[in-house]
């Protein structure tokens, strides 16, 4: 028996949605699209805003100024060849306590230009004339050039001799020979704050003979041929401004820290010194030549050293020999071989970025701890300056100061909004410059772009210490590279 189909008949109205339902669903779909579109637009707008914000930074003006209180670095390893670095004119330096009238920024910049001129002259002298006799030459060195000790320089304290005597030395990557004033002064010595080193009171001091191979290394380190006095090797460094240091080339125990002593360290014991050297006792040569402390300690530290210069002169940084304390985030660029000098560290600079604008510039650049303001090729500097000015139109320009031609009057402001600046080196290494390396305070409310241009393309480009601040810079001579890490000194 066939059963009837008991399923309920499907009405036509139940088989398809009504017109009102279709309209409602279409409205909902359109509403979803509109909301999604607005959300996408908002996200794109926010992304653009984030991108723009990423290229600018707002900084308190007070952060550009020094404090009267010293803030020491905590990253220095006191056990392994690490020295505290202080700015000569800041509260961390003992020298600043005895200075009645602080040095002006204009004078610092004048001294800085003299140093740059000395570097250029040194390179020209080596290229065109070779080495000179110390009795007749006016050959120049790129460092410690008389008044250059009073510019923006950094000081470390080392121990010399047995028993140890502390000496305050200017750290300088642009010099090989370490030297200090010594007693007795045969003709003249300048005033210094630390007691003068006396070789006769040290049991580990010895002179180097004229016929020794060590004496023959002096020409590359000083630009002058050595002299000879009573069979003792005599060094001589002369400067373009007429200042000089002459004395015995000797060996002595050098103490870096409680557990780090270097025997038979070769240095200059200056017994005739003239010039405006300030109150520092001498210089610590960190160059790449054979007489630098870096080369003399190669077996112990592997020709590796690093330093971090503080962001203001009221902070302290560090100088470390060896690989201790090197950041894992260091990015390296190759060292270039210079045919003009074995002392300087040269790297390839390929670009600068100001805000979102990238400026291509290909140039060999000297890394120099003693030059204050970075020097750039003329066209590259003009591009940097014009781009920076275009980003700072909300602030009134004021008159230039010395070598700084882009200065702003910020007397009506408590902070400044400025574009970010980064330096591009070979091997795709980009180094961000902190705000205090982009603008430099020349007075309480006057800030200037902290770069300067060379007169022509033949002059060397130099990476100055203002732009190096708070960056750990690693010099690995054995591997032929220089590294950068922007994690700070504190």
The catalytic residue positions are: 172, 368
Long-range (24+ apart) CB contacts under 8 A made by 438-441 are: 439/64, 439/408, 440/64, 440/105, 440/373, 440/404, 440/466, 441/61, 441/64, 441/65, 441/105
Closest CA to 199 of 268, 259, 245: 268
Rounded distance between C-alpha atoms, residue 120 and residue 115, angstroms: 9
Closest CA to 139 of 152, 147, 130: 130
User: Element (H or E) spanning 19, and its range?
Assistant: helix 19-54
- Where would I find the H helices in 392-464? 435-438
Q: Which two tokens stand for residue 488?
A: 């700070």
Rounded distance between C-alpha atoms, residue 125 and residue 40, angstroms: 64
Question: Could you tell me if 324 and 80 are in contact, meaning their C-beta atoms sit under 8 angstroms apart?
Answer: yes
Q: Which two tokens stand for residue 176?
A: 């090989």
Rounded distance between C-alpha atoms, residue 262 and residue 19, angstroms: 95
Closest CA to 286 of 133, 87, 83, 433: 83
Determine phi and psi for 351, rounding to 5 degrees.
-165, 165
Question: Could you tell me if 75 and 325 are in contact, meaning their C-beta atoms sit under 8 angstroms apart?
Answer: yes
Residue with structure tokens 């805000």? 355
Q: Which two tokens stand for residue 260?
A: 């780090």
Query: Cα 367–463–332 angle (5° rounding)?
Result: 55
User: Element (H or E) spanning 260, and its range?
Assistant: strand 260-274
- Where would I find the H helices in 55-176? 105-128
User: Element (H or E) spanning 254, and its range?
Assistant: strand 244-257
Question: Could you tell me if 175 and 371 are in contact, meaning their C-beta atoms sit under 8 angstroms apart?
Answer: no
């Amino acid at each position: 028996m066939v059963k009837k189909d008991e399923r309920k008949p499907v009405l036509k109205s139940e088989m398809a949605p009504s017109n009102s339902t279709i309209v409602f669903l279409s409205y909902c779909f359109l509403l979803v699209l509109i909301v999604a579109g607005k959300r996408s637009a908002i996200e794109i707008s926010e992304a653009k805003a984030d991108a723009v914000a990423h290229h600018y930074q707002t900084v308190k003006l007070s952060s550009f100024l020094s404090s009267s209180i010293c803030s020491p670095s905590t990253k220095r390893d006191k056990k392994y060849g690490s020295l505290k670095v202080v700015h000569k004119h800041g509260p961390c330096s003992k020298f600043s306590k005895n200075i009645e009238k602080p040095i002006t920024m204009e004078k610092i910049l004048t001294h800085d230009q003299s140093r740059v001129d000395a570097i250029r002259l040194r390179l020209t002298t080596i290229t065109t004339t070779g080495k000179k006799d110390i009795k007749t030459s006016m050959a120049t060195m790129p460092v410690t050039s008389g008044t250059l000790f009073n510019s923006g320089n950094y000081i470390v304290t080392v121990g010399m001799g047995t028993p140890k005597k502390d000496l305050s030395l200017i750290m300088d990557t642009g010099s090989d020979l370490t030297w200090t004033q010594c007693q007795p002064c045969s003709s003249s010595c300048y005033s210094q704050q630390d007691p003068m080193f006396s070789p006769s009171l040290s049991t580990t001091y010895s002179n180097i003979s004229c016929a020794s191979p060590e004496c023959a290394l002096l020409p590359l380190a000083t630009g002058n041929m050595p002299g000879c006095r009573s069979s003792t090797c005599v060094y001589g460094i002369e400067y373009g401004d007429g200042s000089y240091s002459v004395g015995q080339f000797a060996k002595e125990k050098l103490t870096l820290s409680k557990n780090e002593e270097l025997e038979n360290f070769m240095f200059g014991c200056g017994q005739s010194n003239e010039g405006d050297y300030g109150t520092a006792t001498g210089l610590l040569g960190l160059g790449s030549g054979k007489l630098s402390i870096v080369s003399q300690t190669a077996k112990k530290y592997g020709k590796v050293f690093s330093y971090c210069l503080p962001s203001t002169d009221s902070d302290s940084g560090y100088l470390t020999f060896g690989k201790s304390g090197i950041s894992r985030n260091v990015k390296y660029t190759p060292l270039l071989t210079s045919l003009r000098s074995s002392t300087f560290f040269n790297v390839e600079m390929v670009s600068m970025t100001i805000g979102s604008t990238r400026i291509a510039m290909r140039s060999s650049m000297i890394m120099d701890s003693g030059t204050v303001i970075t020097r750039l090729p003329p066209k590259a500097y003009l591009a940097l300056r014009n781009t920076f000015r275009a980003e700072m139109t909300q602030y009134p320009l004021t008159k230039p100061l010395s070598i700084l031609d882009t200065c702003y009057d910020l007397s009506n402001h408590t902070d400044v909004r400025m574009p970010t600046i980064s330096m591009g080196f070979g091997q795709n290494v980009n180094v961000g410059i902190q705000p205090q390396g982009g603008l430099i305070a020349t007075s309480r409310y006057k800030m200037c772009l902290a770069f300067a241009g060379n007169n022509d393309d033949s002059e060397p480009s130099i990476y100055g210490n203002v732009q190096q601040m708070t960056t750990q810079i690693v010099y690995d001579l054995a591997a032929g590279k220089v590294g950068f890490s922007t994690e700070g000194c504190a």
